[in-house]
A and B are shown apart, each in its own frame.
Chain A
Amino acid sequence: NAGVTQTPKFQVLKTGQSMTLQCAQDMNHNSMYWYRQDPGMGLRLIYYSASEGTTDKGEVPNGYNVSRLNKREFSLRLESAAPSQTSVYFCASSASGRLWGNTIYFGEGSWLTVV
């Protein structure tokens, strides 16, 4: 039961470096999401993809780009990492973009530190 799988689990970057967080789900879900989790802030939505071929900004999109590569995969790219992007990143998916009445499933998280 893989569910939502994200890689890498841990990463340390230097300021200005770029990297891509990978996410894949095996539940044939239409919608996928990237959240970040910061101490005392709860989770905040970065970007989401309601369906294959579409992406939209969430609450905190600045400094990030996303690609919905196919139905299974949704990647998050940091083009020029900044210390403010030090966070735990969670990928998630749901059967439908209309979360009302649907369950959203989360990956195990990626711990990113920017020094």
Chain B
Amino acid sequence: GDSVTQMEGPVTLSEEAFLTINCTYTATGYPSLFWYVQYPGEGLQLLLKATKADDKGSNKGFEATYRKETTSFHLEKGSVQVSDSAVYFCALISGGSNYKLTFGKGTLLTVNP
């Protein structure tokens, strides 16, 4: 079945540091890939997505590139801010499961001033 593996947290960085959160997947067919963010006390919000190989999703300074050869979709940001502190979820939808988003376990990011 489909699965998403993302790096275990928590991740603690200083402001302006470089961020990478690794995400790899296994899926039936050709999945669409997503990063969701959950700020404290809030629901999940779509951060970015990519629907085909070599696509780069980007939003709010975050980027992730769909790498089919390595089945990866790593999240990166060049300079994090305190306001980026949140839980980040990698997720996928595969052609074999149109109604079901498969989520990774989430990575807690804390950015200190």
A58 interface residue (CB < 8 Å to B)? yes
Total interface residues on B, CB under 8 Å, equals: 22
B99 and A99 within 8 A (CB): yes
Number of interface residues of A (CB under 8 A): 27
Query: Which residues 57-113 in B have Cβ within 8 Å of A in the complex?
Result: 89, 93, 95, 98-101, 103-106
Closest to B51 in A: A101
Is there an interface contact between B100 and A58, defined as CB atoms closer than 8 Å? yes
Quick one: which of A45, A101, A108 contacts B32, CB cutoff 8 A?
Answer: A101
| Set of chain A residues within 8 Å of B95, measured between Cβ atoms | 100
CB-CB under 8 A for A107 and B43, given A43-B103, A45-B101? yes
Give the distance to chain B from A93, nearest Cβ to Cβ, in Å. 12
CA distance A111 to B111 in the complex (A): 25
Q: When the two chains form their complex, are residues A106 and B45 in contact, meaning their CB atoms are under 8 A apart?
A: yes
- Contacting A at CB under 8 A, from B23-72, are 32, 36, 41-46, 49, 51
Question: Contacts A40-B105, A42-B106, A43-B103 given: A99-B98 contact, CB under 8 Å?
Answer: yes
- Which partner residue on chain B sits nearest A45 by CB separation? B100
Closest 6 CB pairs of A and B: A42-B103, A106-B43, A106-B44, A108-B43, A43-B103, A42-B105
